[in-house]
Chains A and B, each alone.
Chain A
Amino acid sequence: MKRSGPLVRLSRVEEDADLAAFCRAEWPRLVGSMSLYLGQRDLAEDLAQETLIRVCAKWKEVRTTSSPSAWAHRVAFNLAKSHGRRESTWARLRVRAVPRAEDLMEGDTADALAVRAAVASLPTVQRQAVILRYFADLPIRDVAAVMECPENTVKTHVRRACARLRVSGLLAEGPDLEEGVG
């Protein structure tokens, strides 16, 4: 049945409140994810903002998905990849272990720089998988949906990423992560 009158208004108010809460919660997660993925906070904020604009435009649709957060991250990573394709120097930026001066972020510590450098050294799919799983805290199922690959593939990417991070000395030796099978 088509809703009308006050129901529409009430529904919209609820939707608006949900949308505002979602944006506030996702904003730091998206900026963090993008900054880890791209190594640049300004660009990360631009892409996170563009992502949330798209969330706003499609909120009625997004809010009914099983994981609005996964939807947003999927958009963000797609935007990041599109941006990378447009930027001729992007590929070189990604593999550079030492950030340029303009990539430095206010308040950066040596530890943060080392972490970003280590994450930046990961192959793209491993970097995306580990960020989605262990920074954005998405379940394996949602990571697989975002990356459009089987869950076991995600687990493999995560396991290999961990192995590389251990080599960098940033991650202690230890048992595989619980998802790190397959």
Chain B
Amino acid sequence: MSNELHDLLDRGAAAPSSDVDVDALVRSARGRHHRRVGVLAAAVVALVAVVGGAVVLAQPSSTVSIPTRPAGQATTVPDGWNEITLHDENLSFAIPPEWTKVRTFGDEVVTVGTSDLQRYGFLTVCGEPNGFQLPPVPGTWISLFEYRDLGPNDEVPLRLNSGLHVKVSNLGPRPADLRDAARTMSSCGAATTPLSAPSVSLYGGEYHNVVFADAGRVFVATIVIKEPFGTEDVDVAYQVLNSLRVGELAATVPTTTVTGPPTSAPQPPTAPPTAPVAATGDEADIRSAFLAWLDAQDRNAMDGIVEDYASIAATHLEGMHQHSEADLAKYTGRVDSVTITDSSHADVRYTVLFDGRPQYSMVPGQAIKIDGKWMVTRDTVCDLLKNGGLTCPPRA
């Protein structure tokens, strides 16, 4: 009886008109997941455009000190990953088994990714302007660029996004996790795939520019993820990038390395350097000063936070007026590290956050102690203001 009923229903049921396209289903599911991300990203991109597209990480750059890092010091290669070595470049890194070495374009040192591509441009996920290439399939790619002819005051060039400006002189030691390096990221919008056309993919993706120095060499890694699926894709991309091992170039090869002991930026005469000290209380005070500056919505509160604020108040207010009140309220900051160099000076790395998301990471700045109070240096504030094309008046 049950078989008879089963057969009966089988006779009445329709067979699918075609096979199921699992890839299309997965793409649709991924796209929905990232629709909200795309909307937020569009807002962030718009904001960056308003800002002038730049947070300038310029600093007084009298010295350059790019620390070296012997090959083999990088992250351990996970089991099962394939190691790629570029002997001529003295580079090696590891990729997951499903990744492959990809044909390069232009001055890319190497590109790896989830699938090989016919190359006709630098990889991107945001449109396809001249000279750029939108991968035709979802996946993750990393292009590595090296710049050997840059001087200490030169800005590290980026293929994607002109919003990040990093001078060679500002590159610190390579962090263990390159997510902590100077970087910028953005993503492109999404749209709903019509149910009737699941194979049509309209979803974008995200890209990261990571600027770092290693073994006296200057690199930019561009991570492009088309139609990312959760954070795993980003995590794997950084695993690959963190596996990069860099050896020093031969002596005959021009590099940006400048030997010599690192020195601090020029200090104002009011606070002569003294012997290095380290005090937890000092560090807390420095962090408070930077957070007060980065988070402050009260423009009148800067006097006790920023060194010689009165001389740059007009410029600072002009910079703030470039933003709407709503956008200003979304800007916050984070202090990544504090290194006290002497009793009245400290080097600080901070991150600018918009709506809780890092927009510009590990920006270098300085703190100065004046009359027993730690403050953000005038130069630190002025450097940030340069993003809006604003220049502080010279010191009196």
Top 7 nearest A-B pairs (CB, nearest first) are A115-B12, A32-B13, A35-B14, A56-B29, A27-B20, A57-B29, A41-B14
Report, as a range, how many residues of chain B touch the other chain: 35 or more
Q: Which of A130-155 contact B (CB under 8 A)?
A: 130-131, 134-135, 137
Q: What CA separation (Å) do A5 and B14 show in the bound complex? A: 44
Tell me, rounded to whole Å, the shortest Cβ–Cβ distance linking B10 to chain A.
7
0/1 interface trace, chain B 7-22, chain A, CB 8 Å (1 if under): 0111111111101101
Report, as a range, how many residues of chain A touch the other chain: 35 or more
Say whether B25 contacts A52, CB under 8 Å.
yes
Q: Which of chain B's residues has its CB closest to A120's CB?
A: B12
Q: Which of A50-86 contact B (CB under 8 A)?
A: 50, 52-57
Q: What CA separation (Å) do A24 and B19 show in the bound complex? A: 8
Q: What CA separation (Å) do A106 and B14 show in the bound complex? A: 9
A97 interface contact, C-beta 8 A: no
Say whether B9 contacts A135, CB under 8 Å.
yes
Say whether B14 contacts A44, CB under 8 Å.
yes
Q: What CA separation (Å) do A112 and B13 show in the bound complex? A: 7
Q: List 29 A-B contacts (CB under 8 A).
A: A5-B239, A8-B232, A24-B19, A24-B20, A27-B16, A28-B16, A31-B14, A32-B14, A33-B13, A35-B14, A41-B14, A49-B20, A54-B29, A56-B25, A56-B29, A57-B29, A105-B14, A106-B17, A111-B11, A115-B9, A119-B9, A130-B5, A134-B2, A134-B5, A135-B9, A174-B1, A174-B4, A176-B1, A177-B5
Q: Which of chain A's residues has its CB closest to B28's CB?
A: A53
Q: Which of A19-41 contact B (CB under 8 A)?
A: 19-20, 23-24, 27-28, 31-33, 35-36, 41
Say whether A46 contacts B195, CB under 8 Å.
yes
Tell me, rounded to whole Å, the shortest Cβ–Cβ distance linking B238 to chain A.
11
- Which B residues lie at the A interface, using CB under 8 A? 1-2, 4-6, 8-17, 19-20, 22, 25-26, 28-29, 32-33, 78-81, 96-98, 195-196, 198, 232, 235-236, 239
Query: Which residues of chain B are near A96, meaning CB under 8 Å?
Result: none
Tell me, rounded to whole Å, the shortest Cβ–Cβ distance linking A55 to chain B.
8
Known: A53-B29, A119-B9, A177-B2; 17 extra A-B contacts, CB below 8 A, are A9-B96, A9-B97, A23-B22, A24-B20, A24-B22, A27-B19, A31-B16, A32-B9, A35-B13, A49-B25, A54-B29, A106-B17, A111-B11, A111-B12, A119-B12, A134-B9, A172-B4
Residue in A52, A107, A165 with the greatest tally of chain B CB atoms within 10 Å: A52
Given contacts A23-B20, A130-B5, A177-B2, contact A32 B32 (CB under 8 A): no
- Which A residues lie at the B interface, using CB under 8 A? 4-6, 8-10, 12-13, 16, 19-20, 23-24, 27-28, 31-33, 35-36, 41, 44-46, 48-50, 52-57, 105-107, 109, 111-112, 114-116, 118-119, 130-131, 134-135, 137, 162, 165, 170-172, 174-178
Say whether A50 contacts B17, CB under 8 Å.
no
Say whether B5 contacts A41, CB under 8 Å.
no
